[in-house]
Structure 1
Amino acid sequence: MQYQSTRDKNLKASSAQAILNGLAPDGGLYTMSSFDEVKFDYTTVLNMDTMSMSTKILSKLLPDFSEAEMAKLVHDGYTGKFETDHLTPTVPVGEDFILELFRGPTSAFKDVALSMLPRLMTASKEKLGVDDEIMILTATSGDTGKAAMEGFCDVPGTKIIVFYPHGGVSAVQQAQMATQAGENVCVCAVRGNFDDAQTGVKKIFSAVSKDQLLEGKGVRLSSANSINIGRLAPQVVYYYRAYADLVQAGRIQPGDKVDYVVPTGNFGDILAGYFAKEMGLPVGKLVCASNANNVLTDFLRTGRYDRRRPFYKTVSPSMDILVSSNLERLLYLLSGDDKLIADLMKQLSENGEYEVPGDMLEKLHELFWAGFCDDEGAKTAIGKVWKDDHYLCDTHTAVAWDVAQQYKQANPEHNAVVVLSTASPYKFPAAVLEGIGEKAEGDEFDVMEQLHKVTGVPVPKNLADLRSRAVRHRDVIDRGEMLDYVLGKATAEK
């Protein structure tokens, strides 16, 4: 199976090449032309452990790797890093279920994919005979940065630079990144918002490719964002894991559909659910939950994407995004029309908006339901879930929980509902504490301790000692300085 660019289907790559390249040369995203070659009988994985399930699904999506090769990569990527070998447990909360994706080394859902990506990348290098050092460029709205640095820390033959919006992540998220160890890691704040950082990274890829800025330097660029298919593929697995958990618990029968509610910013997590559906998993509706930056809610309802709107800093900062990169993959898969996608992305870049054809909007309505929830709604949801079910959720999960209730009210005939929980509540302790009716006092680390005392919910080990770690990264630049910053790091003595 070959991957191809969403903007030019003649630009093809094997799965290993797509992982190493990150973006296609024309700025498009690598994706398959159809799901025919990756479909399989989902019942064959229902009784597997998570490692075996990951091996089966990833070797389907990334066929350059045999099941035996993938089994080793999965073992090396996950063993001993998560709180449980199950990786992502599904727990009943009220009438619904929460899929806990935050039991990894940085307490965020990104750990599932970013524990695997460095292994996939180094294996791809070996498979393709590439000797160049791989420099990973990543823009983060909060969680990807730390998870990526943790994953790539001191991995031979790699460097990683993470850009995040200055003042646009939580204090805990910033501390996680600023204290990251590793000789090959670097993190830098960008004056602007996440979209500025992400657009800057994309422009760097284009400039380096077009002008051959790293030619002969022994360095090539790649990405750890979900624009990289090697980042996206591992996220497909936990949709199967949740489904299998519900079957094993007797909550559903094989063949029953499940509705998944996903807190959504860059559209990668929910796109993984679409992949699972197209591969054969009985997925009902994929429910897209946005915060006040509700560009995706509007788009999925109307077919019109318009980023020309106010940008809000919210208590769910990982969703503070107005340009959702992975949406491009979905639109290509629904249309099969690379020229249309290239034109839509050009309209977005030049005019800040585009509108999809009516037949595509009909397909979107068949697949997705969308809603949004503001900060007050999220805090209210945190308080209600704690009061009713004694379950403590973070701000992003709270957005999804609130939207799940909206969805159920609008669709009384809904299937079993699984809400994806993307981060530990201790990454956003002040807002969570306020949500359960307590006044936050002191800095975020004081508040973390306060939240623990009030709830008794354990603080993840990786967050508990954060305050005492030395700050190693302090760089802050303007968005126009990003290319020079990267070139300087790329050509620095190894």
Structure 2
Amino acid sequence: MKYSSTRGNGVKLDSAQAIIQGLATDGGLFVPDSLPKVDASFIAALQELTYEERDAKVLGLFLTDYTEEEVKGCVTRAYGNGKFDDAMRAPVKIFDDMGVLELWHGPTSAFKDMALQLLPQLMSTALKKTGEKDEVLILVATSGDTGKAALEGFRDVDQIKIMVFYPEGGVSRIQQLQMLTQEGSNVNVTAVRGNFDDAQSGVKAIFGDKSFAEELGAKGVKLSSANSINWGRLVPQIVYYFSAYADLVKAGKIQAGEEINFTVPTGNFGDILAGFYAKCMGLPVHKLICASNANNVLTDFLRTGVYDRNRDFYKTITPSMDILISSNLERLLFHMTEDTAKVAGWMKDLVATGRYEVGQELLQKIQQTFWADWTGDDDTKELIGRVFADKHYVPDTHTAVAWKVAENYQQATKDGHYMVIASTASPYKFNGSVLEALGAETAGLDEFAMLDKLQELNDDPTPQGLASLRTKPLLHKDVCAVTAMKQAVLDFAAK
């Protein structure tokens, strides 16, 4: 299977080459030239497999230049060795009225682990397969979870360095501590004075600077990405949609072949796009519901066909979704139109004016699969308190946004398909907001006292990776302006 740019530069790469490169040279995102199709027997066979075995089956359809042994090896190293605290890796908590797909049982307690434990293995294998001799420098912009998951996945991996930029004051304290205490001889964490979109735009500008790439190349360094713009970051996320479906059939909650819905909290559109790929491949998905917070640029787009980032930016209790430029939407536009010139034009408009419009015909096509809504902080907190009271279950703030939007969808459409909510983080990562939603007193408590307080209420124990932050030293203190990001990269690359 070959991969090419959403913006049509004509270059076709194997998956290993696309994963190493990360972003196409024209600024576009790599997409497969065709999507593999699966039948009912393929899906049925997943029921009796472990998560790693399911992973290898699905990945093998996309990574056709990797051998079966290479894929299995990558998967085993990613999910084994005690890295995940649940044998199912991505278990489904099944309630009568809906299921909750828990994607946060990895080492950093966020759904990003599902991909970012695997991407370093895929990339390291790709370097060996292609005979690449240069050092690869991974650049990451994070709104909170991607940064720590990428740092943990890539730490001390041979031939690779990783540099993470995060918005100063724009992540939760737990998320910040996870990054600032990160160990590893090949890692750097730098705060950016600005919001996530500033950090992401700065990283994209660095990738798009050919003279800068040449300057690094002369030093034997190539840039790549661990954000979901990298195909190797996105393709592992397809797997857990298949896995959840297989688990629901096995549990007798749905019948084989029955269509279900997924509601996904999303800012950069990568997680929900993986569900779209699963549906295109043949997984029985009825609707994908896109859940946003007050930074509801995706809600407006999926309702009107107008993408407009020219709006107020809000800091919310769901910081991983505080995003106004949703990079992976570009891939959806490509698959819906198969017109690289149109996609390139829309992305050019986004840079020049902050907006673009796709028209009613394309919007209606998108709406056949997607539905969208958003919810604010107050309703998010209300949902957390109500779910705890009704089910004695504690969702994190991002999961609560999805849960509330799922309720809104069901009330608005009367759609009776079984609903699965993508739970993207442990409640312990956002303990202050969750405790407030539960009516607990937090005045005077530091982050770790709040972890203990939440543990008193929650059935699930505090993840070890978060509990261990109490005693870890702060190792990263760099801060820079957006305009200084390029120099910061040069300084780190030279070390």
TM-score normalised by length of structure 1: 0.97
Structure 1 residue identity aligned to 2:19: I
Take 2:335 and 2:304, find their aligned partners in 1: how far apart are those partners?
19
Structure 2 residue identity aligned to 1:124: A
- Structure 1 residue 412: Cα displacement: 1.4
The alignment of Structure 1 onto Structure 2 pairs a total of residues equal to: 491
Q: Does 69-78 or 104-113 show the bigger shift?
A: 69-78
In structure 1, the residue matched to 2:102 is 100
- Structure 1 residue 47: Cα displacement: 2.8
In structure 2, the residue matched to 1:282 is 284
In structure 1, the residue matched to 2:317 is 315
Structure 2 residue identity aligned to 1:43: A
In structure 2, the residue matched to 1:188 is 190
In structure 2, the residue matched to 1:65 is 66
Take 1:318 and 1:259, find their aligned partners in 2: how far apart are those partners?
23
Q: Is 1:440 the equivalent of 2:442?
A: yes
- Identity level (%): 53
In structure 2, the residue matched to 1:124 is 126
- Structure 1 residue 93: Cα displacement: 3.3
Take 1:475 and 1:246, find their aligned partners in 2: how far apart are those partners?
46
Structure 2 residue identity aligned to 1:175: L
Task: Choose from 152, 157, 160 the match for 2:159.
Answer: 157
User: Are the equivalent residues in 2 in contact too, given 1:112–1:235 (CA < 8 A)?
Assistant: yes
User: Residues 312-351 of structure 1: matches in 2 within 5 Å?
Assistant: 312-351=314-353
Take 1:131 and 1:181, find their aligned partners in 2: how far apart are those partners?
25
Structure 2 residue identity aligned to 1:70: V
User: Residues 201-240 of structure 1: matches in 2 within 5 Å?
Assistant: 201-208=203-210, 212-240=214-242
CA-based RMSD: 1.2
In structure 2, the residue matched to 1:263 is 265
In structure 2, the residue matched to 1:476 is 479
Q: Does 436-445 or 372-381 show the bigger shift?
A: 436-445
Alpha-carbon deviations, 1:107-126, whole Å to 9, x = none? Answer: 00000101100110011111
In structure 2, the residue matched to 1:27 is 27
Alpha-carbon deviations, 1:346-405, whole Å to 9, x = none? Answer: 000000000003221011110101010100011001001000000011000000000010
User: Residues 384-395 of structure 1: matches in 2 within 5 Å?
Assistant: 384-395=386-397
CA separation of 1:376 and 1:438: change in aligned 2, threshold 3 A = same
Structure 2 residue identity aligned to 1:190: V
User: Are the equivalent residues in 2 in contact too, given 1:267–1:327 (CA < 8 A)?
Assistant: yes
Take 2:361 and 2:212, find their aligned partners in 1: how far apart are those partners?
35
Take 1:464 and 1:330, find their aligned partners in 2: how far apart are those partners?
39
User: Are the equivalent residues in 2 in contact too, given 1:93–1:391 (CA < 8 A)?
Assistant: no
Alpha-carbon deviations, 1:291-343, whole Å to 9, x = none? Answer: 00000000000000000000000000000000000000000011000000000
- Structure 1 residue 38: Cα displacement: 5.0
Aligned to 1:420, what secondary structure does the other structure show?
strand
Task: Choose from 442, 449, 453 the match for 1:450.
Answer: 453
Take 2:430 and 2:207, find their aligned partners in 1: how far apart are those partners?
32
User: Are the equivalent residues in 2 in contact too, given 1:259–1:417 (CA < 8 A)?
Assistant: yes
Take 2:189 and 2:210, find their aligned partners in 1: how far apart are those partners?
20
Q: Is 1:53 the equivalent of 2:54?
A: yes
Structure 2 residue identity aligned to 1:24: A
Aligned to 2:104, what secondary structure does the other structure show?
coil
Structure 1 residue identity aligned to 2:392: H
Structure 1 residue identity aligned to 2:132: V
- Structure 1 residue 215: Cα displacement: 2.4
- Structure 1 residue 440: Cα displacement: 1.5
In structure 2, the residue matched to 1:77 is 78
Structure 1 residue identity aligned to 2:486: L
Take 1:133 and 1:210, find their aligned partners in 2: how far apart are those partners?
15
Aligned to 1:465, what secondary structure does the other structure show?
helix
Aligned to 2:86, what secondary structure does the other structure show?
coil
Structure 2 residue identity aligned to 1:353: R
User: Residues 159-178 of structure 1: matches in 2 within 5 Å?
Assistant: 159-178=161-180
Q: Where has structure 1 moved over 3 Å in runs of 4 or more?
A: 37-41, 208-211, 454-457
Take 2:87 and 2:16, find their aligned partners in 1: how far apart are those partners?
27
Take 2:210 and 2:311, find their aligned partners in 1: how far apart are those partners?
31
Aligned to 1:323, what secondary structure does the other structure show?
coil
Aligned to 1:98, what secondary structure does the other structure show?
strand
Take 1:291 and 1:433, find their aligned partners in 2: how far apart are those partners?
19
User: Residues 385-424 of structure 1: matches in 2 within 5 Å?
Assistant: 385-424=387-426
CA separation of 1:283 and 1:179: change in aligned 2, threshold 3 A = same
In structure 2, the residue matched to 1:113 is 115
User: Are the equivalent residues in 2 in contact too, given 1:259–1:415 (CA < 8 A)?
Assistant: yes
Structure 2 residue identity aligned to 1:73: C
- Structure 1 residue 413: Cα displacement: 2.8
- Could you list the runs of 5+ residues in structure 1 that have no partner in the other structure? none
In structure 1, the residue matched to 2:6 is 6
Structure 2 residue identity aligned to 1:205: F
CA separation of 1:210 and 1:4: change in aligned 2, threshold 3 A = farther
Structure 2 residue identity aligned to 1:435: A
